[in-house]
Amino acid sequence: MEEELKKKDKKDEKPELKKEKESQCKCDNKKDKCCKEKKAFKRDDKLEKELEELKKKNEELINKVLYSQAEFANYKKRKELETSNMLKYSNSEIVLELLPIVDNFERAIKLDDSNLDDSLSKFLDGFKMIYSHLVELLKKFEVTEIDCLNKEFDPNIAQALMTVKAEGVKPGVVVEILQKGYMLKDKMIRPALVKVSE
């Protein structure tokens, strides 16, 4: 009968009291923290781990963005340099086509003027005028002759076609220019063809 009464009392208990009892901790061990506190700590540990993972991912993404920005800046600089070089040396093909014409004029001008009759002499004067105009045009576009005569041979600006013995000249010096070399601004567009002393 007592048991029936207890059961009845439990049924009659107010729901508020029931909730209070449930909310009270049933931990027997007073030394350890309450089981609810342990659960809260477990949740905090999970959140901290997730936070650390998110921080790592965030750092990785920031590093990727910085790397991409640096790559883009380098690409932009390279393109600007290529474009400026392309514009700077855009005349090189035309100049290379003109140089053989200049060479031919120089060969014609080297003819001995004293052995020619009057009509050929006048014709040669016309050649000299055309040649001087061509040279002025090349100077206008910053085309300069490579000066290497009586200087030490430099394979960067000249090409040795032959070596000769020259008295009073030390070895490795340019003694004759067979074909002139030219620079366009600061770039060599045609090497000089030379004879070098042995």
At residue 9, the pLDDT reads: 53
Residue 191 covered by a domain? yes
Residue 6 covered by a domain? no
CA of residue 137 relative to chain centroid, distance = 34
At residue 40, the pLDDT reads: 57
Spatial distance between the Cα atoms of 99 and 69, rounded to a whole number of angstroms: 45
Strands 187-190 and 182-184: antiparallel
Query: What average pLDDT does the chain have?
Result: 81
Q: Check whether residue 180 and residue 102 sit in a common domain.
A: yes
pLDDT-based confidence at residue 72 (cuts at 50, 70, 90): very high
Helices (H), the chain: 2-12, 15-23, 35-88, 92-109, 118-140
Cα Rg for the chain, rounded, in angstroms?
Answer: 47
Provide the domain limits for residue 135.
92-197
Number of domains in the chain: 2
Q: Check whether residue 49 and residue 126 sit in a common domain.
A: no
Computed from CA positions of residues 113, 119, 123, 125, in that sequence, does the dihedral angle turn out positive or negative? positive
Helices (H), 110-194: 118-140
Q: Are 25 and 36 spatial neighbours (Cβ–Cβ below 8 Å)? A: yes
Which residue, among 125, 112, 186, has the nearest Cα to 156 in the 3D structure?
A: 186
Asked if pLDDT for residue 121 goes beyond 60, the answer is yes
Q: At 165, which amino acid appears?
A: K
Q: Check whether residue 106 and residue 174 sit in a common domain.
A: yes
In this structure, what is the dihedral angle of CA atoms 125, 131, 136, 139, given to the nearest 10 degrees?
Answer: -150
CATH number at residue 135: 2.30.22.10
At residue 198, the pLDDT reads: 86
Q: Looking at 88, 118, 151, which one is the last position of a domain? A: 88
Answer with the residue of higher pLDDT: 114 or 44.
Answer: 44
Block residue for tokens 């050929």: 120
Spatial distance between the Cα atoms of 149 and 195, rounded to a whole number of angstroms: 10
At residue 29, the pLDDT reads: 52
Q: Check whether residue 96 and residue 193 sit in a common domain.
A: yes
pLDDT-based confidence at residue 33 (cuts at 50, 70, 90): low
| Least confidently predicted of 14-23, 93-102, 142-151 | 14-23
Residue 114 covered by a domain? yes
Q: Check whether residue 108 and residue 142 sit in a common domain.
A: yes
Q: Check whether residue 129 and residue 47 sit in a common domain.
A: no
Q: Check whether residue 146 and residue 83 sit in a common domain.
A: no
Look up the pTM and report it: 0.59
131-174, pLDDT tens digit by residue? 999 999 999 999 999 999 999 999 999 999 999 988 888 899 99
Which burial class, exposed, middle or buried, applies to 55 when counting CB atoms under 10 A from its CB (0-12, 13-18, 19+)? exposed
Asked if pLDDT for residue 37 goes beyond 80, the answer is no
At residue 19, the pLDDT reads: 47
